[in-house]
Amino acid sequence: MSIDNKKLRSLPKVDELLKREDVEELIETHPRDLVVDAGRDVIHALRQRILEGQTDVDCSEESIVEEIRTILKAGERRNLRRVINGTGVILHTNLGRARINETISKAIGQVAMQYCNLEYDLEKGERGSRHDHVSGLASKLLGTEDAIIVNNNAAAVTLCLSAIARGKEVIVSRGELVEIGGAFRVPEIMEQSGCKLVEIGTTNKTKLSDYENAITDQTAAILKVHTSNYRVIGFTEAVDEADLVQLGKRYDIPVLYDLGSGLMMDLNSYGVDEPTVQSAIKNDVDVLLFSGDKLLGGPQAGIAVGKKSYIKKMKKHPLARMVRSDKLTLAGLEEVFRLYFDPERARTEIPVLDMITMSQEEVKEKALRLQELITFHSIGFSTKIVPVKSQIGGGSAPMLDLDSYALCIEPSEMKVAELEERLRHCEIPVIGRIMKEKYYLDLRTIDESEFEIIKNVFLAIFKDE
Ligand SMILES: *Cc1c(COP(=O)(O)O)cnc(C)c1O
């Protein structure tokens, strides 16, 4: 191996680079230290390559500056950033679950940039409660007595059990010992909350008498958990919350209901077989718990609504401070709740609901428009519009496949895996699915406003083909 010593000596010093006009310009728009560091890294890498005996090393100052520019640009990319969801999974946990609309995000931006009355009662001119902003709206909308908002539903359930049943027994059906994913498993949450889990019934059948027989003087609550991410079908029996509430009233035991998704609108006609917040409230459960960023369609939050005496216990519990939600969440949730006063508006303006209720025909039309847009100039790939199934995801409506349409793309000069990778590495990453050596973008989860971005990405990827 011979080392090109001449080339090694020709490598510029960082100080020399800094005198160049184009580097001075970079220093005007970037922190000087970052430019210097990038320069050092580039020169170091070139030196290593020469020492390894590589012969094709471009040591020109111009190419070094270009490399510095690339490094600076990559450094500016946000770690957490927007992506385009072409998977067709509406509540995609890895892609941030519910997407919110402009009205909601503006409300969040407002309180983020300005002072706000987070814990200040403007009527009385004294300290107020952060929970009041949403609990008043929840009472108007749902007829509940009180509400508390925390970080997420897992926190809401833990807080609820800790505040109401710590050191006592909680009765749960074996058919509802749910695992939601991650560390949320009902038996473990029960243990964390200091409650004794009393399992009753069997996996497929639990009767009202099973509940009644399990009641002792140590019973603090009956917990119902919605089997949100699975269904038990066939020879089955479960007790609905209305009957549990009757039983609870007879023995003076509260019924707590972990509903999971927080669906606030009957979507049965769209095939969404999920219980609603309203029906659980109508059945008079004592505390109802649900997520803010599943089918409710708002920001991440855990919402507990119900009887004042129980919600008050939750508010006063020391855990409440640890899991409380911030002003941004509260501002977003308030806006979401306001949208629900007009259900038709909620259905079309809350993105999650809009995506679920969009007809297959509408999705197809979107797919055709995107196809027309990206095939206008490009060569190197062929496209087809094909029917596919989308999912709600996020542990909701597990049996439901929504009839949808995708743009199916088959590159002619590159492997489909390479296309997938290049789309994923874009400035605004595009995330799709590969099935049988073809690439699919499901239009149910792609907004029209994202079409231009996708078009430009395709133009860039296929410009050389
Ligand atoms: C999703 C879910 C949870 C957890 O809610 P997060 O908001 O994700 O913390 C708890 N219980 C049920 C039944 C759920 O579906």
pLDDT score for 97: 96
What is the token pair recorded at 42? 């580039």
Instruction: Report which of 156, 337, 111, 128 is spatially closest to residue 256, judged by C-alpha positions.
Output: 156
pLDDT score for 464: 59
pLDDT score for 214: 98
pLDDT score for 177: 95
Query: How many other CB atoms are there within 10 angstroms of residue 436's CB atom?
Result: 7
Q: What is the DSSP string of 195-240?
A: -EEEEES-SSB--HHHHHHH--TTEEEEEEE--TT----SS-B---
pLDDT score for 182: 75
Asked if 295 and 263 count as a contact pair (C-beta separation under 8 A), the reply is yes
Question: What is the CA(153)–ligand 1 centre distance, in A?
Answer: 5
Residues paired with 172 in a beta bridge: 199
Q: What is the DSSP string of 327-375?
A: HHHHHHHHHHHHHTTSHHHHHHHSHHHHHHH--HHHHHHHHHHHHHHHT
Q: Which of 159, 160, 184 to mutate to test the pocket of ligand 1 (most atoms within 8 A of CB)?
A: 184
Instruction: Report which of 92, 154, 141 is spatially closest to residue 294, judged by C-alpha positions.
Output: 92
Number of DSSP helices (H) and strands (E) in the chain, helices first:
20, 17
CA 43 to chain centre: 42
pLDDT score for 378: 66
pLDDT score for 31: 95
pTM: 0.92
Asked if 184 and 154 count as a contact pair (C-beta separation under 8 A), the reply is yes
CB-based contacts of 86: which residues, under 8 Å, 6+ apart? 406, 430, 431, 432, 433, 440, 441, 442, 443, 445, 446
Question: What is the CA(314)–ligand 1 centre distance, in A?
Answer: 18
pLDDT score for 1: 63
DSSP strands (E only) in 89-166 = 120-121, 126-127, 146-150
> Which residue is associated with the tokens 């079908």?
233
Judge if the beta carbon of residue 162 lies within 6 A of ligand 1.
Answer: no
**CB-count exposure of residue 312 (10 Å: 0-12, 13-18, 19+):** middle
CB-based contacts of 238: which residues, under 8 Å, 6+ apart? 173, 175, 176, 205, 206, 232
Pick out the chain residues at pLDDT < 50.
465
Judge if the beta carbon of residue 274 lies within 6 A of ligand 1.
Answer: no
Backbone angles phi, psi at 424, to 5 degrees: -70, -25
pLDDT score for 443: 98
Strand order in the sheet with 438-442: 381-390, 402-411, 438-442, 433-435
Question: What is the CA(321)–ligand 1 centre distance, in A?
Answer: 20
**CB-count exposure of residue 108 (10 Å: 0-12, 13-18, 19+):** buried
Judge if the beta carbon of residue 152 lies within 6 A of ligand 1.
Answer: yes
Asked if 157 and 192 count as a contact pair (C-beta separation under 8 A), the reply is no
Q: Which atom of ligand 1 is nearest to the CA of 178?
A: 13
Nearest-CA residue for atom 7 of ligand 1:
153
Asked if 181 and 229 count as a contact pair (C-beta separation under 8 A), the reply is yes
CA pair distance 378, 366, nearest whole angstrom: 19
Q: Which of 228, 259, 288 to mutate to test the pocket of ligand 1 (most atoms within 8 A of CB)?
A: 228
Question: What is the CA(178)–ligand 1 centre distance, in A?
Answer: 10
pLDDT score for 369: 97
The two beta strands, 179-181 and 184-185, are antiparallel
Query: How many other CB atoms are there within 10 angstroms of residue 379's CB atom?
Result: 11
Nearest-CA residue for atom 5 of ligand 1:
153
pLDDT score for 463: 81
Judge if the beta carbon of residue 228 lies within 6 A of ligand 1.
Answer: yes
Q: What's the one-letter identity of residue 5?
A: N
Nearest-CA residue for atom 2 of ligand 1:
260
CA pair distance 291, 262, nearest whole angstrom: 6
Query: How many other CB atoms are there within 10 angstroms of residue 458's CB atom?
Result: 24
pLDDT score for 379: 83
| CA distance readout (Å), 131 to 114, 125, 180, 312, 316 | 19, 17, 26, 11, 12
pLDDT score for 183: 79
Question: What is the CA(137)–ligand 1 centre distance, in A?
Answer: 22
Asked if 222 and 254 count as a contact pair (C-beta separation under 8 A), the reply is yes
